Amino acid sequence: MTTGSDRSTDSYLPQHGNGGYRVLHYDLDLDYRVESNRLTGKATITAQAAQALSRFSLDLGQFRVQDVRVEGHRASFAHRAGKLRVKPDKQLGYGATFKIEIRYAGKPVPISGRWGDIGWDELTDGALVASQPNGAPSWFPCNDRLEKAGFLLTLTAPTPYTVVATGDLVSRRRGAGTTTWVYERNEPTAPYLMSVQVGRYELLDLAAIPVPQRAAIPPRLRRTFRHDFARHADIMRTFTDLFGPYPFRSYAVVVTDDDLDDPIEAQGMAVFGRNHVDGWRSHERLVAHELAHQWFGNSLTVADWRHIWLNEGFATYAEWLWSSYSGGPTVQTLATQWHATLAQSPADVLVANPGVSRMFDPVVYKRGALTLYALHERMGDAAFFAMLRSWVAEHRHGLVTTEQFRGHAARFTAAPLDDLFTTWLDRRPLPPLPAN
CATH number of domain containing 231: 3.30.2010.30
Q: What is the mean pLDDT of residues 106-116?
A: 93
Q: Is 18 strand, coil or helix?
A: coil
Concatenated DSSP letters of 31-51: EEETTTTEEEEEEEEEEEESS
In a domain, 297, yes or no: no
The whole-number pLDDT of residue 192 equals 98
Residue 164 and residue 48 share a domain: yes
pLDDT band at residue 1 under the 50/70/90 scheme? low
- Residues contacting residue 220 through CB under 8 Å, at least 6 positions apart: none
**Domain span including residue 187:** 21-118+126-196
Q: What is the mean pLDDT of residues 296-309?
A: 98
Q: What is the mean pLDDT of residues 281-286?
A: 98
Q: What is the mean pLDDT of residues 414-423?
A: 96
Instruction: Check: CB of residue 15 under 8 Å from CB of residue 136.
Output: no
Residue 34 and residue 167 share a domain: yes
Residue 275 and residue 405 share a domain: no
**Alpha helices in 209-303, H assignment, sequence order:** 222-228, 232-243, 284-292
End-to-end CA distance of the chain: 62
In a domain, 376, yes or no: yes
Residues above pLDDT 90, as percent of the chain? 97
Instruction: Check: CB of residue 194 under 8 Å from CB of residue 266.
Output: yes
In a domain, 251, yes or no: yes
pLDDT band at residue 435 under the 50/70/90 scheme? confident
Residue 192 and residue 220 share a domain: no
Instruction: Check: CB of residue 302 under 8 Å from CB of residue 359.
Output: no
Strand partners, 65: 104
In a domain, 436, yes or no: no
Residue 221 and residue 356 share a domain: no
Residue 349 and residue 417 share a domain: yes
Residue 273 and residue 235 share a domain: yes
Q: How far is CA 198 from CA 35, 74, 127, 278, 406, in A?
A: 12, 33, 5, 22, 41
In a domain, 405, yes or no: yes
Most distant pair of Cα atoms in the chain: their distance: 67
Residue 190 and residue 209 share a domain: no
Give the CA dihedral 356, 357, 361, 363, nearest 10 degrees: -80
Question: What letter does residue 5 receive in the DSSP assignment?
Answer: -
Final residue belonging to a domain, choices 141, 167, 196: 196
Query: How many whole angstroms separate alpha carbon 170 and alpha carbon 27?
Result: 14
Sign of CA dihedral 363, 391, 400, 149: positive
Final residue belonging to a domain, choices 157, 177, 196: 196
User: Of all helices (H) and strands (E), which one includes residue 333?
Assistant: helix 331-343
pLDDT digits (tens, 9 = 90+) for 379-404: 999 999 999 999 999 999 999 999 99
The whole-number pLDDT of residue 289 equals 98
Residue 362 and residue 321 share a domain: yes
In a domain, 154, yes or no: yes
Query: How many whole angstroms separate alpha carbon 330 and alpha carbon 334?
Result: 6
Q: How far is CA 231 from CA 202, 301, 436, in A?
A: 20, 27, 29
Instruction: Could you list the beta-strand ranges (E) of 190-293.
Output: 196-199, 202-207, 213-217, 251-255, 264-266, 269-272
Residue 420 and residue 306 share a domain: yes
Name the phi and psi angles at 236, rounded to 5. Answer: -60, -45
Question: What is the CATH number for 56?
Answer: 2.60.40.1730
Query: Mean pLDDT, the chain, as a whole number?
Result: 97
Q: Is 116 strand, coil or helix?
A: strand
Residue 85 and residue 37 share a domain: yes
Sign of CA dihedral 335, 341, 343, 345: negative
Q: What is the mean pLDDT of residues 25-48?
A: 98
Residue 155 and residue 26 share a domain: yes
pLDDT digits (tens, 9 = 90+) for 190-202: 999 999 999 999 9
Instruction: Check: CB of residue 193 under 8 Å from CB of residue 311.
Output: no
In a domain, 182, yes or no: yes
Q: What is the mean pLDDT of residues 252-270?
A: 97
pLDDT digits (tens, 9 = 90+) for 361-370: 999 999 999 9
- Among 89-98, 109-118, 176-185, 198-207, the least confident range: 109-118
Question: What letter does residue 92 receive in the DSSP assignment?
Answer: B
In a domain, 434, yes or no: no
Final residue belonging to a domain, choices 154, 177, 196: 196
Q: Is 132 strand, coil or helix?
A: coil
With vertex at residue 421, the alpha carbon angle to CA 416 and CA 425, rounded to the nearest 5 degrees, is 175
Question: How many structural domains compose the chain?
Answer: 3
pLDDT digits (tens, 9 = 90+) for 335-359: 999 999 999 999 999 999 999 999 9
User: Does residue 3 have a pLDDT over 90?
Assistant: no
User: Does residue 322 have a pLDDT over 90?
Assistant: yes
User: Does residue 436 have a pLDDT over 80?
Assistant: no
Question: What is the CATH number for 401?
Answer: 1.10.390.10
